[in-house]
Amino acid sequence: MISIAIDGPSGAGKSTISRKLAGMYGFVYVDTGALYRAVGLHFLNAGVKAEETQKIIDGLSNIQIDIKFIDNEQRVFLNGVDVSDKIRTPEVSLMASAVSAIGKVREFLFDLQQSMAKKHNVIMDGRDIGTVVLPNATLKIFLTASAEERARRRYEELIARGMNVTYEDVLADLKLRDQNDSSREIAPLKPADDAIIVNTTGNTFERSVTILSGLISHKLGL
C-alpha cells in the first residue's frame, strides 16, 4: 500500500490540498484531525472540561469512533452518529487540541488510523502521521505557512460557513493551538527527520497542489 503523510500546523492548507491530491491519484483521503475533533465533541457534550484529564481517560471506554466514506468523502461517526459537520466549530477545535495532548486519547485513535493505511492507498493528514502513525510512509510532507496567512485562510473559511468570528480571535486561537500542539510532550507537532518541508505562504492553492503532486509523482516514479 502507498501512504503519503501530510503533517503541519492548522490552517496550512493540509485538508484542501490533501483532498485534491487524493482525487488526482485515486487514493483515500484520511483527515485524522476529525477523529480528535469527534473525541473533543463527545466530552464537550458531556460537560467535561479540558483540564479534567482523568475523566476524559475514563470516558474513552464509552466512545466508538468510526470512519466511513460516502461519495468518496470521509464521514466521522461518534457512537453511530455522523458528526462530520458538528466538529467544525471553534469550541470543538480548542477541545480537540486539549484532548489530543492526552497520551491515552492518542493511543485510543492509533489503531483506527493505522488500519486505514493497511486497507487503502492513503493521503493522511494530521500532526504526527510521519513521526508516529505511519513512520514507514512512502512520502512524508510537512506543510506550513505563516501564522497570519493561516489565520486569514481559516477566518475566510469560517465566515463562508456563516460563522460569526473576527480575524483577531481566529489568529489568537490559532496561536494558542500551535503552542498546545507543538509544546505537548507526546507526539508534538514537528517534522519527521525524513519529511520534506513545504512552506505555502504566498502560494495559490493551485501552486501548492502543483508542488506536492510534483513530489508525489517523483516519489512514485510516475
What are the distances in angstroms from CA 29 to CA 17, 68, 105?
10, 11, 22
- Residue 172 or 220 with smaller CB distance to ligand DC: 172
- 158-164 long-range contacts, Cβ below 8 Å, gap at least 24? 158/90, 161/88, 163/89, 163/90
What is the Cα–Cα distance from 137 to 123, expressed in whole angstroms? 10
Least spacing, CB of residue 36 vs ligand DC, in Å: 3
Residue with cell 479540558: 50
Compute the residue count for the chain: 222
Least spacing, CB of residue 218 vs ligand DC, in Å: 25
Tell me which residues touch ligand DC (CB under 6 A): 10, 32-33, 36-37, 96-97, 100, 126-129, 177, 181
Least spacing, CB of residue 100 vs ligand DC, in Å: 3
- Residue 92 or 209 with smaller CB distance to ligand DC: 92
Least spacing, CB of residue 221 vs ligand DC, in Å: 28
- Residue 149 or 181 with smaller CB distance to ligand DC: 181
- Residue 82 or 220 with smaller CB distance to ligand DC: 82
**Contact (CB, 8 A) for 116 and 30:** yes
